[in-house]
Chain A
Amino acid sequence: MILLSAAFDLVPLLLVVGVALAFLLPTSVLLELTGGTRPGLSVALLVGLVATAGAIAELIVRRRAARRVPKWVVSLDALALSDAATVAAVGGKALMLARAVRLGAPVPDGIVLTTALVERVLAATSGTKSVEGAFAALPRAARRDIETFLSRSKGKVVVRASFTEAEGKHAYPGVFPAVRDLNPRDRERLVSAVLAIVATTDDAVGREYRRRCGAPAHVARAVIVQRQIDGEITGAVLSRGPSARADVVTVDFARKRSPMRSYGYDLVEGVATPLGNDEKFETPAWVHRLAVLAVTLEADLGAPVHVELALEEGQPYVLDVRKVLLPSRKTWLHARPLDAEGERRPTFAGELRGGLPLVRRVLSELCLRAGASSGVREDEVRYVDGLVYFDAEVLRRIVAALGADVLLRGGLRATVRSIAPVRRRPVPAVPTVTDVTAGAWQELRAWHGAHLLGAAEVRLELVAREWLIRTLLRLVDGTSSVATDRRGHPALRFVLARRVQEAAEEAARQGDVLGRAEQELSTAVARVLARGAEGWNAMFKGDRHLHATLEEIDQFHQDVAARPALEAEWKARREAFDARKDEPTLPRVHRPKLPEEAPGPSTSRRGTERSLSPQLRGVGVTPGTAAGPAVLANSADRGLGMGAILLVPDPRSELCPHVFDAKGVVLLSGGLVSPVALLASELGIPTVLCPSARSLATQDLTIDGTTGSVVVHR
């Protein structure tokens, strides 16, 4: 009877029986030992048993994986858990991909053939030995693991080199090209691909790169075999902006049969802007996500990262992650998520609004709300020229934590935190100071502490929270109207939008109170202090107190001897403040200063010489100047780059050999973080991005990689 009924379902049924008995039998033994017969106890025991068995199994699996030293072949998943893998064994690229896997980033499935195995492959094919049979000569365990991976791989596989360090100044761009389109069933092709990649360590390009950059031939000789991603979009993301600025992420991407474009993704506004041209561009959801993923990876790896990526059927894949060495640049932001209106405020007004301690507290809360483990340090907020600034690293921490939660863990925590009701604070009556008495100052101080600080805090919190929700929504749903981009919960989307509105309304209400109270308080304080100071001097007839901190005014009251010094300090502040009154405020301050940035392509003419030398404005990529004839680079005209300015229409890695001979490089479409730009940067060849230079082939050019200018000499 069972024979027929189990004919097709036997394997699943056996599984059912086996698993059920595996848990039921120990449960029964436990029940017999405890003498219990209640059903609740049985269920509790069963659940406890399953949970305990699961936890023990998880621990064992993790511990074994952590101790595992890769010998011949190791999967990226296993490598992600291994603490014993070394760069010499698996190479830097494999280690970094494993790190990305550990973080939860979408890395295509793959295995790593260790240096030891690659040496075996070389030995098996050395001399006159042919490739045929080389696979069979590999260690049995290695063959088994490779076979297992390949037999389960559907579609093509790609073989990549993992020869270098995980970090360092040498990126080897275009030096170790991958071998693509391999049939997973063709073992001989796989061996040939491994040999071809190993051979690149000593080919002309490799030798030239080593000579010019002083790089070692290789650190490891491991190889990665991965599922090939035939992406409809390919590109790269640098977790920093052009010139290493901290408030921007650079995104390069190309659609199929289209040239590569470069974009700067502003972390504050959540908008990608084309670099080098002023075309209109609506930021797709995946650009938001990949830019934030790069920031998340940077936070995990502790250094700026360069991420190669591809989108296949809408799913982004991380193909390569590499730490990069960039010049240190500090960026200070007077921007969201602060209540940044760009209006200079004297010290006293800032103090009334809570000063830097309040800013720091609110930003720290925002960090924690986003999921970051640490708050904001004292040195990460500052008050300069009447504006409150915070370090862009704070913003990056917030974005990284939000990205890790939303992009890699589903974002439930961030959403729950964001949909919490908006705190509404009762609006206090603003006091009117009519009776100027000796204790009036202390009364005003008390009122300020009791009401005004609270209003300021609520307002700042709401502004920050509104920014966080908008950023969350951008990550989840994007900003476009493309339905497939939208991943958020429709009901929660509604709630979140409502929260944004509530936060904005409440912030405006509190802001209104704040404004009136500030005005009233300021006048009252001036009157109180002017009266108090009458006996000493008439300094308070003016508005010098507006440049005092509250503590300083306290001190002024208590310590007569300190008054001259305080007065001098306030005076100096007022003069400095007044001197900058008419200067435009800077929402972003970069230290050291950024090279001159061009707003977009334009042609300017200067004097008589300008009529002969039109100047195009682009984006500087690699500093320095170079002059020479312009040569259009494509795959057919190799060698023409010698002593010339190379015009690169599409910066693919195949064009990298041209760069060695070029005096300068002009990227015509994009590719700020492409292999061509990276190689030019490592070789110190001046590079600019200037799409409008497309028609300048064969003309004499002078390019400036610092300012991004291209001068045409006729």
Chain B
Amino acid sequence: MTPLALAWVSIAFPSAFFALVFVAGFVGRRFAEDEFSWPKYAAFVVVALGLAVLLVAAKTTWVFLVVAGVLVLWVLIRGALDAQVTSIRERFGFLQLYAALLVVEYSALVRTGALAGTRATAAFSLALDDALSELVLPLSLAARGARPSMGAEALVGSAVDALSANLLSVVALATFALSAFVYTHFAEHATPKVGLSLFPSPVVAAVLWPALLVLSRVLPGDGLPGIVATTAAVFLRPYFVAEGLWVVHRFAARLRIRGALVLGLAALAAVSAGLCQGIALLGLGFHVVRLRAFEPILGDVERSAARPRIRTALAVAAVSSAVFAALGLLDARALARTSPRLAAGGELCDGVKFTTTPAGVLVASEAGSFTIDSDETSLDGSADAACRARGARLCTSDEWMLACVCSYPNESVGGIKLGENDRLVFRVETDARDGTPADVQRLLSGRTEVVSTSLGHAMLLAGPADAFADDSFVDCRTRLVVTEASRLGAASVGAVRCCR
């Protein structure tokens, strides 16, 4: 995903979500009920469960999105109703909101193949690395010149590793934060303390969570009991993290920046499993050891500035969108330096001629000629070293693109190859083998290939991992920017194609 796409997403999805929150708040205020009604609540649960089943069974993305939207709106409305009271309903209201949003998230992650157990899949990890690396690339290039002992890309790689290793936990934390935001937005009474006290039974949670933590360590991770224990622990952890953050917030009452401090800790906790666990244990300790006894007895009353505002959230989203867009433009310029022809349009293949030679495929054009391997080679160590060992060099990004765009007999517009069915890769590869023996093979199948290592600790990759933007076309110009660490960790990446 490019920064520009991220910029669009970062404004579109929050807008859609907060529109649902706004609608739910409006409906909730209109239908606020003074007395709790079991029949109505039962109806709510039945409908919510039905929507959840539909969500899991949804065949197409659009159906999934629609059902997810309806389910979210449904629980939001219920949340808006329950948030008006201060009884046990409030706690259950928050729990059902958090659980429903997490179910939707989980379904989306599973549906898109992003999640394997509690970890991210290699493909998701790669995509995440790509997105973050592309954001960092301009900054990294600007900073280059210092000794390349530890680049920004390597840190991004570490962050991605941390996010990937704890993806479900991160998603649970983020969903909890979002639920808390929405819930405090709905709450009519004094802002509820978002933490363990919002769990229906804090004592049970304080006993259950440590037990689940132990079980998740003891039980085998691939068995059902282990998965259940791990997932349940992950589900409960945000309550304790929130409690821990609340403790920090409470005891930093004298600091004007305590809000920022807590937000910073929350963000760093997402990329640092140790910090996250530490904060959660602080929350647990606060509850178990009754450190609440040392809260200021009188001070620290509710402040209106602490109330979440949709407008502020949207402003944050808009600012981040603008930042992503700006970084995207810088990123495009940085990529253009590495691969100048990526941005070129028009008929790239005019005058390009392919000839099979013993060393590979000779690609001749008006700008010059080069010989490229007809097939990819598995890679274990350094890409440059692998080619040097064969008396060759790593193909540049532009060379790889020219071979990709011009070697297959599909119609192409610029760098985009057009197709008509969802077996495009199979078809182009078949066409390549059957019709044009001189073509370069497995450029868009097989593994993703390294095409540049000139980005410090990051590298450019080309190939199937990200080229398939849609069922109907592939784009030879798409590049992944990933860290060395991610490349080594991802099994689907690890091929090289040499040129002479």
Write the residues of chain A forming the contact surface with B, with a CB cutoff of 8 angstroms.
1-21, 23-25, 27-29, 31-33, 35-37, 42, 50, 54, 57-58, 61-62, 65, 75, 77, 81, 104-109, 149, 151-155, 227, 289, 293, 313, 315-317, 406-412, 415, 475-476, 487-492
Given contacts A17-B132, A61-B256, contact A32 B251 (CB under 8 A): no
- The answer to whether B149 and A77 have CB atoms under 8 Å apart is no
> Inside 8 A of B488's CB, which chain A residues have their CB?
none
Cβ of B63 under 8 Å from chain A: no
Q: For B290, what are the chain A residues with a Cβ–Cβ distance below 8 Å?
A: 489-491
Which of A29, A37, A315 has most chain B Cβ within 10 Å?
A29
Confirm or deny: B159 has a beta carbon within 8 angstroms of a beta carbon on chain A: yes
Which of B72, B128, B266, B295 makes the CB contact (< 8 A) with A2? B128
Interface residues of B in 78-98 (CB under 8 A from A): none
Q: Are A317 and B301 in contact (CB under 8 A)?
A: yes
Contact: A410 with B146, CB < 8 Å? no
Q: B: which residues have CB within 8 A of A?
A: 1, 6, 9-10, 13-14, 17, 61, 68, 72, 101, 104-105, 108-109, 111-114, 123-124, 127-128, 131-132, 135-136, 139, 143, 146-152, 154-156, 159, 170-171, 173-175, 177-178, 181, 187-190, 251, 253-257, 260-261, 263-264, 266-268, 270-271, 290-291, 293-305, 307, 309, 313, 316-317, 320, 323
Give Cα A62 to B257, complex, Å. Answer: 9
Q: Report the minimum CB–CB distance from A635 to chain B (whole Å).
A: 32
* The residue from B105, B253, B256, B320 contacting A81, defined by CB atoms under 8 A apart: B256
Can you name the residue of chain A whose Cβ is closest to the Cβ of B115? A5
Q: Is the CB of A29 within 8 A of B146?
A: yes
Cross-chain contact B72 with A8 (CB below 8 angstroms): yes
A293 vs B299: C-alpha distance when bound (angstroms) = 11
In the assembled complex, the CB of A383 is this many whole angstroms from the nearest CB of chain B, namely: 38
Report whether B108 and A7 are in contact in the complex, using a CB–CB cutoff of 8 Å. Answer: yes
| Bound: A9/B132 CA distance, A | 16
Q: Are A3 and B9 in contact (CB under 8 A)?
A: yes
- CB of B301 within 8 A of CB of A410, answer no
Cβ–Cβ < 8 Å partners of B323 in chain A? 18
Closest to A20 in B: B271
Chain A residue contacts of B13, Cβ below 8 A: 3, 6-8, 10
Q: 4 additional contacts, CB 8 Å, given A28-B151, A58-B255?
A: A10-B17, A11-B313, A29-B146, A154-B188
Indicate if the CB atoms of A32 and B143 lie closer than 8 Å: yes
Chain B residues with CB under 8 A of A408: 296-299
Task: Check A475–B297 contact: CB distance below 8 A.
Answer: yes
Q: Are A104 and B152 in contact (CB under 8 A)?
A: no
Bound complex: CA A7 to CA B253 (Å):
34
Q: Hey, which chain B residues are within 8 Å of A490, CB to CB?
A: 290, 293
Residues of A within 8 A of B155 (CB): 24-25, 27-28
B301 touches A11 (CB 8 A): no
8 nearest A-B residue pairs (beta carbon): A19-B267, A489-B293, A152-B304, A9-B174, A12-B174, A410-B294, A32-B146, A104-B299
Q: How many angstroms between the C-alpha atoms of A617 and B431 in the bound complex?
A: 113
B316 close to A32 (CB less than 8 A): no
- Please report the C-alpha to C-alpha distance between residue A315 and residue B300 in the assembled complex, in whole angstroms: 10
Q: Are B10 and A407 in contact (CB under 8 A)?
A: no
Cβ distance B111 to chain A, nearest Cβ, rounded Å: 7
- Verify A109–B304 contact, CB threshold 8 A: yes
List of B residues within 8 angstroms of A18 by Cβ = 267, 320, 323
Residues in B whose Cβ lies below 8 Å from that of A50? 264, 268
Cβ-defined contact, A15 with B316, below 8 A: yes
Q: What's the Cα separation between A564 and B311 when bound, in Å?
A: 90
Once A32-B150, A149-B304 are accepted as A-B contacts, the answer to whether A21 and B135 lie under 8 Å apart by CB is: yes
| Residues of the A chain whose Cβ atoms lie less than 8 Å from the Cβ of B320 | 14, 18
- A20 adjacent to B268 (CB under 8 Å): yes
Quick one: which of A153, A409, A411, A490 has the most chain B CB within 10 A?
A: A409
Interfacial chain A residues near B266, Cβ < 8 Å: 15-16
B175 touches A152 (CB 8 A): no
Contact call A407/B297, Cβ cutoff below 8 A? yes
- A5's contact among B112, B136, B257, by CB below 8 Å, is which? B112
Most buried by B among A11, A24, A411: A11
Residue of B nearest to A75 (CB): B305
B316 to chain A, nearest CB (A): 6
Q: Which residue of A lies closest to B124 (CB)?
A: A1
A67 to B131, alpha carbons, bound, how many Å? 43
A109 and B9 within 8 A (CB) = no
B174 and A33 contacting across the interface, CB-CB below 8 Å: no
| Interchain nearest-CB distance for A409 vs B (Å) | 6
Alpha-carbon gap, A7 to B190, bound state (A): 29
A54 touches B317 (CB 8 A): no
User: Does A11 contact B150, Cβ atoms closer than 8 Å?
Assistant: no
Enumerate 29 A-B pairs (CB-CB under 8 Å) in ascending A order: A7-B68, A7-B104, A8-B175, A9-B174, A10-B10, A10-B17, A12-B173, A18-B267, A19-B263, A20-B268, A21-B132, A21-B159, A25-B152, A28-B154, A29-B143, A36-B150, A57-B260, A58-B255, A61-B257, A75-B305, A104-B298, A105-B298, A154-B188, A289-B298, A316-B298, A408-B298, A410-B251, A412-B294, A488-B293
- Which residues of A have CB within 8 Å of B152? 24-25, 28-29
**Contact between chains at B127 and A410 (CB < 8 Å):** no
With both beta carbons as reference points, the residue of chain A lying nearest to B173 in the complex is identified as A12
Shortest Cβ distance from residue A154 to the other chain B in the assembled complex, whole angstroms: 5
Contact B302 A11 (CB under 8 A): no
Q: State the Cβ distance, A600 to closest chain B Cβ, in Å.
A: 32
State in angstroms the CA–CA spacing of A9 and B177 once bound together.
Answer: 9
Cα–Cα distance between A149 and B298 once the two chains are bound (Å): 23
A37 CA / B147 CA spacing, docked (Å): 12
Question: Chain A's nearest CB lies how many Å from the CB of B264?
Answer: 5
Task: State A151–B139 Cα separation when bound (angstroms).
Answer: 39
Q: Which chain A residues lie closer than 8 Å to B302 at the CB level?
A: 109, 227
CB pair B150–A407 under 8 Å, yes or no, is: no
Complex Cα–Cα for A9 and B313 (A): 12
A137-B278 Cα distance, complex, nearest whole Å: 53
* Residues of A close to B171: CB separation below 8 A: 5, 9
Please state if A108 and B301 are interface contacts (CB–CB under 8 Å).
yes
The residue that B256 contacts in the complex, of A62, A104, A107, with Cβ under 8 A, is A62
**Given A35-B147, A153-B304, are A16 and B17 also a contact pair (CB < 8 Å)?**
no
The docked-state distance in angstroms from the alpha carbon of A42 to that of B112 is 34
**Pair A489/B294 contact, Cβ less than 8 Å:** yes
Give bound CA distance, A155 to B296, whole Å.
25
CA distance A25 to B291 in the complex (A): 36
Measured CA separation A23–B146 after assembly (Å): 18
- Residues in B neighbouring A407, C-beta threshold 8 A: 296-299
A15-B301 contact, Cβ under 8 Å, with A154-B188, A489-B293: no
Nearest B residue to A77, CB-CB? B303
Interface contact B296-A104, CB-CB below 8 Å: yes
Highest count of chain B CB atoms <10 Å: which of A227, A317, A410, A411: A410
Rounded to whole angstroms, the CA-CA distance of A582 and B452 in the bound complex is: 105
Q: How far is the CA of A655 from the CA of B297 in the complex (A)?
A: 34
Whether the Cβ atoms of B297 and A406 lie closer than 8 Å is yes
Contact A58–B297 (Cβ < 8 Å): no
Contacts A4-B111, A32-B143, A152-B309; A16 near B271 (Cβ below 8 A): yes
By a CB distance below 8 angstroms, the chain B residues around A316 are 298
List, in ascending order, chain B residues with CB within 8 A of A104's CB: 253-254, 296, 298-300
Q: How far is the CA of A25 from the CA of B327 in the complex (A)?
A: 15
B270 interface neighbour in A20, A81, A106, A149, Cβ under 8 Å:
A20
Given the interface pairs A20-B271, A21-B136, A28-B155, the reply to whether A65 lies near B124 with Cβ below 8 Å is: no
Bound CA–CA A213/B144 (angstroms): 76
A573 CB to nearest chain B CB (Å): 48
By beta carbon, the residue of chain A nearest B294 is A410
Bound CA–CA A227/B493 (angstroms): 59
Q: For residue B108, which residues in chain A have a CB less than 8 angstroms away from its CB? A: 4-5, 7
Say whether A155 contacts B188, CB under 8 Å: yes
Option from B156, B175, B257, B316 in Cβ contact (under 8 Å) with A54 = B257
| A20-B294 in contact (CB<8A) | no
CA distance A14 to B170 in the complex (A): 12
A8 contacts B178, CB within 8 Å?
yes
Q: Count chain B CB atoms within 10 A of each CB in A8, A18, A313 and give the residue with the most.
A: A8
